[in-house]
Amino acid sequence: MQFKIDGKSFHKTRACTIKTAHSTIQTPVFMPVGTQATVKALDANDMLSLGAKIILGNTYHLYLRPGSEIIKKFGGLHGFSKFPNSFLTDSGGFQAFSLGDNSKPDENGIMFKSHHDGSKHYFTPESVLDTQYELGSDIMMILDDLVALPNTKERIKKSIERTTDWAEKAITYHKSQQEKGIGINQNIFAIIQGGTDKEFRKLSATQLCALTDFDGFAIGGLSVGEPNAAMYETVEWTTDFMPEDKPRYLMGVGTPEDLIENIERGVDMFDCVMPTRNARNGSLFTTYGKIAIKNAKFKEDAEPIDKACECYTCKNFTKAYLNHLFRAGEITYYRLATLHNIHYYLTLMREAREAILADNWVEFKKEFYKKRGIEI
Amino acid sequence: MQFKIDGKSFHKTRACTIKTAHSTIQTPVFMPVGTQATVKALDANDMLSLGAKIILGNTYHLYLRPGSEIIKKFGGLHGFSKFPNSFLTDSGGFQAFSLGDNSKPDENGIMFKSHHDGSKHYFTPESVLDTQYELGSDIMMILDDLVALPNTKERIKKSIERTTDWAEKAITYHKSQQEKGIGINQNIFAIIQGGTDKEFRKLSATQLCALTDFDGFAIGGLSVGEPNAAMYETVEWTTDFMPEDKPRYLMGVGTPEDLIENIERGVDMFDCVMPTRNARNGSLFTTYGKIAIKNAKFKEDAEPIDKACECYTCKNFTKAYLNHLFRAGEITYYRLATLHNIHYYLTLMREAREAILADNWVEFKKEFYKKRGIEI
């Protein structure tokens, strides 16, 4: 992976370029979620038409179905889904923890039962990399030890230590595999934990970032219900312990406002189900804020979702038609809405990048909020 | 509507051209079903890319939601859905009968309760045309009196007489409306009833086809569970009572085999939910017959659905990927499968037309069955 900083603006904002074996990614970047080897309601060509340079796949889901060994036979996620740009895959640990039944971490990994059929599986720092080698993702995430919150300080501290231990095992294993010719074009990111506790975050960041063989670092364990202010403060604090010369990825975040606030706090990469899930629930993003397409006031509205939007849906269809399709439960709706919401997120990131490169961040952010009726 | 016969081949096969205000339709033609102003899982541009010149909308559904008065404000179905080619709309009578609660026909129309909210509505031969004027369809179907089968000969005879009576009312009303400038670009078809009884079919066809102001004639009430042979025999018999110089439409039919058999029996136009519904259920059409994409044998199948197929899905994706998407319940699957199945139907009709124009029907039909493992 090649990484360079192209420009900076206000506070910690930065615009970077990440080059993987499959694409050149300009940051700040939002990675649409394609859990099961497809972004829900869209296909590979849709993602290309949206200009997506990287999407996310979920290792837990793909490991269980169709199985990473099948995906490997098709040349990994790229060959299987036909999306030629980059993939980032998570470790599967979070889903084993949240979706798997009776998940149990121990010193060496996580035991869990499949939510499909109850079959037993065991994820280790090494096994989740083996799965991700088969998936062929451009960026692999390490297994981390998650704990349910709230929890005792002792248990959280243990989770941080274990996460560091597993990160060491992962990077050692990855280097040894690469020496054997496995995963040579694949990159690996560690995940900083510690909740919203500054000392824990500092501890985790310091320990992990000392492992300089990692290609990038993520901030995990946020956007799990804590107040926005606490999330922003934690990111502000944590990025100071992360290296300048590697990508910074804030996992599972967030709203357009969250993206803007965290770009300012030094984050380069984001992923979230929000644009895709909201689309399916009838919540569409515009420069003026969200709208609920089901609303009766749109029944005869001949305008597109957002007059300023250049997406396929806005160029072709009215709010009245989308309102009808949504109310009628038509599958057609889901693709049109998803295309729009992802286009919104990717465009916002492109505009943020331009603002940083033009050293115009403060004005850009002010305008972003002003259109939403918020003066800052 | 302009209508001309371009060529004939074996038995009653014919290739015709129908010209409406919105498109030129070459027959034999299959009309994909777009019940709620969209073909399920696809949009207007998808239909254009498939080369569809005409699709079907359901008056009952659109009358109830979003309401034909809203669709009228958008310039009818064409403006609302953005599909610029032709629409055929049914009368709504069949759905009022099959979906509406407590539907009751009387001398003047059909009373029924909406399946959405139980609200009461009354369809008359004139009111269903008023709705279809608002929908702006290129071909409107008349209200017919449907009876549950089996039934007494007396009741069936009464239904035929009533259908003729309503057809007379409909054509009189349509002509008077056209004189007022309403529906001047819209065409109207009558529907021949009579089940599989030859005398009833003859009676209905003779009475309706005597109403020479109709732009075309349909055969209704088939493909409702009768044996295939009975359907084919009824069509064979009925088309002899239908004029040569107007389109013949067999409603709600059918399988690829049904289309081939009924083209031979003199039918020009078809519609059916089969390609779209089967797609969603995992049943995909190929030149060699149907396949169930869920089948485990496709899990690692790197071939497209049909190697001979030129559709978007076959040009881009493997059976293994579609198998995975279907099993995973991904919305993405529905569009890809629907694109393929409709492409199959439309291509079959194009090939049938070419065979007729080349006076090569018998050979074409033999090949069609041979690829399916059937010698005829």
Judge: A36–B300 Cβ closer than 8 Å, yes or no.
Answer: no
Q: Would you call B302 and A74 a contact, using CB atoms and an 8 Å cutoff?
A: yes
Which residues of chain A are under the pLDDT cut of 50?
none
Is a pLDDT exceeding 80 seen at residue B148? no
Q: What is the pLDDT of residue B156?
A: 87
B73 in contact with chain A, both atoms CB, cutoff 8 A: yes
Query: How confident is the model at residue B151, as a pLDDT?
Result: 84
Q: What are phi and psi of B277, to 5 degrees?
A: -65, -45
| pLDDT of amino acid B2 | 98
**Partners of residue B38 in chain A, C-beta under 8 Å:** 325, 330, 332
Predicted confidence at residue A225, as pLDDT, reads: 85
Q: What pLDDT shows up at residue A183?
A: 98
Contact B316 A70 (CB under 8 A): no
Determine which of A209-213, B112-116, B183-187 has the lowest per-residue pLDDT on average.
B112-116
pLDDT for A300: 98
Residues from chain A contacting residue B330 (CB–CB below 8 Å): 36, 38, 40
- Catalytic annotation on A213? no
Q: Residue B194: which region, alpha, beta or left (left: phi > 0; alpha: psi -120 to 50)?
A: left
- Beta pairing, strands A139-141 & A187-192: parallel
Integer CA distances (angstroms), B217 to A44, B197, B263, in order: 44, 18, 15
- Which one is catalytic: A138, A145, A268, A271? A271
Cα–Cα distances in Å, from B330 out to A34, B15, B195, B323? 10, 40, 41, 10
Distance from CA of A261 to the nearest CA of B (A): 32
User: Can you tell me the distance from the alpha carbon of B74 to that of A321, in angstroms, rounded to the nearest whole number?
Assistant: 9
Annotated binding site of B: 90-94, 144, 193, 221, 309, 311, 314, 340
User: Per the omega criterion (within 30 degrees of 0), is the bond before A66 cis?
Assistant: yes
The pairs formed by A111-120 with CB atoms below 8 angstroms and a separation of 24 or more are: A114/A64, A116/A64, A116/A65
* Closest CA in chain A for residue B46: A332
- A90 marked as part of a ligand binding site: yes
Of the candidates B44, B211, B215, B61, the residue with the CA atom closest to the CA atom of residue B131? B61
Residues of chain A contacting B324 with CB distance shorter than 8 Å: 36-37, 65-66, 70, 80
Tell me the average pLDDT across B323-342. Answer: 98
Give the pLDDT score at B335.
Answer: 98
Name the active-site residue from A46, A90, A138, A145.
A90
Residue B65 has its nearest CB partner, among A300, A327, A331, at A327
Percent of chain B topping pLDDT 70: 100
The per-residue pLDDT for range B36-71, each reduced to its tens digit, is: 999 999 999 999 999 999 999 999 999 999 999 999
pLDDT at site B149:
72
pLDDT of residue A98: 85
Instruction: Suggest the residue from B42, B99, B281, B324 to mutate for an interface test with chain A (most A CBs closer than 10 A).
Output: B324
pLDDT on residue A307: 96
- Domains of chain B plus CATH, in order, are 2-271 (3.20.20.105), 279-372 (no CATH)
- Whether residue A43 and residue B300 make contact (CB cut-off 8 A), yes or no, is no
For residue A73, the chain B residues in CB contact (below 8 A) are 300, 302
d(CA B227, CA B229): 5
> Active site includes A306?
no
| Tokens found for residue B33 | 């079903």
Q: Are A314 and A302 in contact (CB under 8 A)?
A: no
A45 contacts chain B (CB < 8 A): yes
- Whole-angstrom CA distances from B5 to B15, B86, B223 are 6, 19, 27
pLDDT at B87: 98
Known binding positions of B for substrate: 90-94, 144, 193, 221
pLDDT value, residue B96: 86
Residue B32 φ then ψ, to 5°: -60, 150
Nearest by CB to residue A317, choosing from B82, B302, B330, is B82
* Cross-chain residue pair A302–B74, CB shorter than 8 Å: yes
Q: Is A209 annotated as a binding residue?
A: no
Residue B120 has pLDDT above 80, yes or no: yes
Percentage of chain B beyond pLDDT 90 is: 91
Residue A325 touches partner B, C-beta closer than 8 Å = yes
Q: What residues in B contact A325, CB-CB < 8 Å?
A: 36-38
Q: Confidence band (pLDDT; 50, 70, 90) for B244?
A: very high
| B248 alpha carbon, distance to own chain's centre | 11
Which residues of B participate in catalysis according to the annotation?
Answer: 90, 271
CB-count burial class (<10 Å; 0-12, 13-18, 19+) for B323: buried
Q: Determine the angle formed by the axes of helices B331-357 and B274-281, rounding to 10 degrees.
A: 140
What pLDDT is recorded for position B99?
Answer: 85
CA distance A287 to chain B (A): 25
**Most confident segment among A152-166, B102-116, B167-181:** B167-181
Residues of B in contact with A42 (CB under 8 A): 332
The reply to whether A74 touches chain B by the CB within 8 Å rule is: yes
